[in-house]
Structure 1
Amino acid sequence: MTITVLQREPGEFWWGGVINEGHLMPFGEGTHSRDIRMTDDNQAAPLLLSSRGRYIWCEEPFSFNFDHEGYLKIDHEQKLDIEEGHVNLQGAYLHASSKHFPPSGDTPDKLAFTAPQYCTWVEMFYEPTQEKLLHYAKSIIENGMPPGVLIIDDNWMQDYGTWDFEKHRFPDPAGMIASLHELGFKIMLWVCPYVSPDSITFRQLQRKGYLMKDADGTPILRRWWNGYSAVVDYTSTDGAAWFKQQLDRLTQDYGVDGFKLDAGEPILPSLHNDVTQEVAWSRPLLQMEDCQSYAELGIGYSLSELRMSWKLGGQALIQRQRDKAHAWDAGGLGGLIPNAIAQGLMGYAYNCPDMIGGGLDGDINSPDFHFDSELFVRSVQCSALFPAMQFSMAPWRVLNGEELSWCMDAVRIRTKLGPLISELASEAAESGLPIMRSMEFVYPQQGYHMVKDQFLVGDSILVAPVITKGQRSRVIQFPEGRWLGDDESIVEGPVRLEVEAPLSRLPWYRKL
Structure 2
Amino acid sequence: MTITALQREPGEFWWGGVINEGHLMPFGDRPHSRDLRLTDDNQASPLLLSNRGRYIWSEEPFAFSFNESTLTIDHPQKITIEDGHFTLQGAYRHACVNHFPPSGVTPDEMAFTAPQYCTWVEMFYEPTQEKLIQYAKSIIENGFPPGVLIIDDNWMQDYGTWDFEKHRFPDPARMIQALHELGFKVMLWVCPYVSPDSITFRQLMSQDLLMKHADGTPVLRRWWNGYSGVVDYTREEGSAWFKRQLDRLTQDYGVDGFKLDAGEPILPDLLNDVSRDVEWSRPILPMEDCEAYARLGIGYGLSELRMCWKLGGQALIQRQRDKTHTWDATGLGGLISNAIAQGLMGYAYNCPDMIGGGMDGDINSPHFRFDSELFIRFVQCSALFPVMQFSMAPWRVLSGEELSWCMDAVQLRTKLGPAVLELANQAAVDGLPILRSLEFVFPNQGYHAIQDQFMVGDSILVAPVLMKGQLTRMIQFPEGRWLGDDESVVEGPIQLEVQAPLSRLPWYRKI
Which TM class, normalised by the smaller chain length?
A: over 0.9
Matches within 5 A, 1:172-251: 172-251=171-250
Per-residue deviation, residues 36-67 of structure 1 (Å, max 9, x unmatched) = 11200200000000000000001111111101
Partner of 1:65: 65
Whether contact under 8 Å (1:438, 1:456) holds in the other structure is yes
Q: CA deviation at 1:268?
A: 3.0
SS at match of 1:284: coil
Whether contact under 8 Å (1:340, 1:351) holds in the other structure is yes
Partner of 2:291: 292
Equivalent position amino acid for 1:168 in 2:
H
Equivalent position amino acid for 2:61 in 1:
P
SS at match of 1:82: strand
Whether contact under 8 Å (2:38, 2:268) holds in the other structure is no
Partner of 1:358: 357
| Distance (Å, rounded) in 2 between the aligned partners of 1:369 and 1:78 | 51
Q: CA deviation at 1:223?
A: 0.3
Partner of 1:149: 148
SS at match of 1:482: strand
Whether contact under 8 Å (2:434, 2:456) holds in the other structure is yes
| Distance (Å, rounded) in 2 between the aligned partners of 1:311 and 1:57 | 11
Partner of 2:476: 477
| Distance (Å, rounded) in 2 between the aligned partners of 1:120 and 1:316 | 23
Please state if 1:302 is matched with 2:262: no
Equivalent position amino acid for 2:205 in 1:
Q
| Distance (Å, rounded) in 2 between the aligned partners of 1:52 and 1:186 | 43
| Distance (Å, rounded) in 1 between the aligned partners of 2:252 and 2:174 | 11
| Distance (Å, rounded) in 1 between the aligned partners of 2:81 and 2:302 | 34
Whether contact under 8 Å (2:188, 2:257) holds in the other structure is yes
Please state if 1:487 is matched with 2:486: yes
Query: Deviation above 4 Å: which 4+ runs of structure 1?
Result: none
| Distance (Å, rounded) in 2 between the aligned partners of 1:407 and 1:362 | 23
SS at match of 1:361: coil
Q: CA deviation at 1:362?
A: 2.1
Per-residue deviation, residues 88-144 of structure 1 (Å, max 9, x unmatched) = 000000000000000000010000000000000000000000000000000000000
Partner of 1:339: 338
Matches within 5 A, 1:105-504: 105-268=104-267, 277-504=276-503
Per-residue deviation, residues 258-310 of structure 1 (Å, max 9, x unmatched) = 0000000001369xxxx995111111111100000000000000000000001
Partner of 1:25: 25
| Distance (Å, rounded) in 1 between the aligned partners of 2:479 and 2:379 | 28
| Distance (Å, rounded) in 1 between the aligned partners of 2:43 and 2:179 | 31
Partner of 2:78: 79
Equivalent position amino acid for 2:374 in 1:
L
SS at match of 2:278: coil
Q: CA deviation at 1:360?
A: 3.6
Per-residue deviation, residues 447-490 of structure 1 (Å, max 9, x unmatched) = 10000000000001000000000000000000011000000000
| Distance (Å, rounded) in 2 between the aligned partners of 1:23 and 1:38 | 19
| Distance (Å, rounded) in 1 between the aligned partners of 2:12 and 2:61 | 23
| Distance (Å, rounded) in 2 between the aligned partners of 1:277 and 1:470 | 48
Structure 2 CA distance for partners of 1:46 and 1:297, relative to 1, 3 Å:
same
**Aligned-residue RMSD, C-alpha:** 1.0
| Distance (Å, rounded) in 1 between the aligned partners of 2:436 and 2:286 | 30
The 10-residue stretch of structure 1 (283-292 or 155-164) with the greater mean CA deviation from structure 2: 283-292
| Distance (Å, rounded) in 2 between the aligned partners of 1:234 and 1:360 | 30
| Distance (Å, rounded) in 2 between the aligned partners of 1:258 and 1:206 | 27
Q: CA deviation at 1:217?
A: 1.1
| Distance (Å, rounded) in 2 between the aligned partners of 1:228 and 1:91 | 46
Whether contact under 8 Å (2:267, 2:287) holds in the other structure is no
| Distance (Å, rounded) in 2 between the aligned partners of 1:363 and 1:483 | 43
| Distance (Å, rounded) in 1 between the aligned partners of 2:138 and 2:378 | 21
Q: CA deviation at 1:416?
A: 0.3
| Distance (Å, rounded) in 1 between the aligned partners of 2:126 and 2:380 | 29
Partner of 2:7: 7
Query: Structure 2: which 5+ residue stretches go unaligned?
Result: none
SS at match of 1:480: strand
Whether contact under 8 Å (2:37, 2:267) holds in the other structure is no
Whether contact under 8 Å (1:22, 1:339) holds in the other structure is yes
Equivalent position amino acid for 2:13 in 1:
F
| Distance (Å, rounded) in 2 between the aligned partners of 1:205 and 1:447 | 56
Whether contact under 8 Å (1:269, 1:278) holds in the other structure is no
Equivalent position amino acid for 1:499 in 2:
V
What TM-score, normalized to structure 1?
0.98
| Distance (Å, rounded) in 2 between the aligned partners of 1:283 and 1:26 | 37
Query: Structure 1: which 5+ residue stretches go unaligned?
Result: none
Per-residue deviation, residues 128-182 of structure 1 (Å, max 9, x unmatched) = 0000000000000000000000000000000000000000000000000000000
Per-residue deviation, residues 171-203 of structure 1 (Å, max 9, x unmatched) = 000000000000110000000000000000000
Whether contact under 8 Å (1:108, 1:316) holds in the other structure is yes
SS at match of 2:504: coil
Equivalent position amino acid for 2:111 in 1:
A
Please state if 1:44 is matched with 2:44: yes
